[in-house]
Structure 1
């Protein structure tokens, strides 16, 4: 099926991107003030769901120009086997290329006041955040992965962003050893500022549509994220 047949009704923006069609789609919100620092929001493996839209809306309410690219061409799922297949079809390097178009678009908007953008992602999107920051260098000023790290062969030498991570102590899919190893590699290869917070929570603790949601951890991590983005995006 073509991308056109898959369009997600939540898509409200199209931008140039290194995809099969030459363009990407996504959901964009500008704050009520009309301008603010730019943030790319990277979806979980479920797709551009109502939850991702709500995250973008929340960033806009906090004063950010936020864009969530639709990496699945409109497809969403609540089935983990299907989500795993969608993820398998989208390796981090290709996703980072697709996401580069979203970075370009945000930086080109008159509403975006920051000279760099933030990247915030959840689960699969958390891994993509770090791959994107490594690929985009000085264009990403702040990288915030939530419970996701890329593979151990990821080259972080190009990363220039400050990094703030949020991970769950009870997360069986992202072991803390992998988080610590990623942190050490980023420090060693990029010399970047890295802070990885660990919460008494399972995987996907921010997603209030899932049984793993933990309100206290989610709100603390959100507060830390918005403060971090304000500090590093100017």
Structure 2
């Protein structure tokens, strides 16, 4: 598949109105969308460079969004979401906290996730935010988004470096109030009633901690399970995923434009 052919596929698919979920659920379309991104290497103080994939909108400079992958790794689906954000007018950077590795099973995904060094990952996401804010193609506005493993790191990136808008999809939000006090912009969280891991007790603790330090948080609950926004998984909920994505785009429009 050539780069030119891939771009035509994506323009017809995303640009012509095919829902994002349809692209993510189709391996060929997701691969074509991923092929439109360019690879970048971002310096990290005291460590090896951060791998990332970049999607650019038609009009620059543009507000930016940093995407952080699920426990599967930086795959075509996450890159396809970056391509969708570029279609919506954002400069989208999908970072790779697994250094090129991807999981083919839940067991492999768990192993990769547990192998992540939190201090190293914090340096990496901080470098990603710094890179986006300093980029000449950027307006200087930065948002973050992540799912599952990446949802927790979306929040942690915004603690490590001030950002203008943070979106968490069913990620670990069990941070103490003292750390959350470092947040600058508002946070939106998408959570599922039937999620046994990122459960209501964790989220309610997060709400209390955010209120304690006077930070803006909007929490949305869905009658769904963990990973409800992933159309390649068994727990996908099309209606709730669509609504969560619409809310995410509205949030970015209000805070990054």
With structure 1 as the length reference, what TM-score do the two structures score? 0.88
Residue of structure 2 in register with 1:123 after alignment:
148
Q: For structure 2, list consecutive stretches of 5 or more residues without a partner in the other structure.
A: 1-33
Report the Cα offset of residue 123 of structure 1. Answer: 0.2
Q: Provide the aligned length of Structure 1 versus Structure 2.
A: 222
Deviation at 1:153, TM superposition (A): 4.3
Other-structure match for 2:59: 33
Residue 58 and residue 142 in structure 1: after superposition, are their counterparts in 2 closer, same or farther (change >3 A)? same
Is 1:186 the equivalent of 2:210?
Answer: yes
Q: Does 2:42 correspond to 1:15?
A: yes
Q: Give the equivalent residue in structure 2 for 1:99.
A: 125
Deviation of residue 35 (structure 1)? 3.3
Distance 1:182 1:91 in 2: 23
Given that 2:144 and 2:154 are in contact with CA atoms closer than 8 Å, whether structure 1 keeps it comes out as yes
After superposition, the C-alpha distances for 1:69-88 in whole angstroms (9 at most, x for unaligned) are 11111000121122112111
1:78 to 96, 104, 120: 104
CA-CA distance at 1:105 after TM superposition: 1.4
Counterpart for residue 4 of structure 1? none
Structure 1 residue 151 displacement after superposition: 3.4
Distance 1:188 1:92, change over 3 A: farther
Higher helix share: 2
CA contact (8 A) 1:92 1:128 kept: no
Matches of 1:112 and 1:166, distance apart in 2:
27
Greater displacement, 65-74 / 34-43: 34-43
Spell out the pairing of 1:40-51 with structure 2 (5 A cutoff): 40-51=66-77
Q: 1:207 aligns with which of 201, 226, 230?
A: 230
* RMSD over aligned Cα atoms: 1.9
Counterpart contact for 1:11–1:25, Cα < 8 Å: no
**Structure-to-structure mapping, 1:144-223, within 5 angstroms:** 144-153=167-176, 155-189=179-213, 191-223=214-246
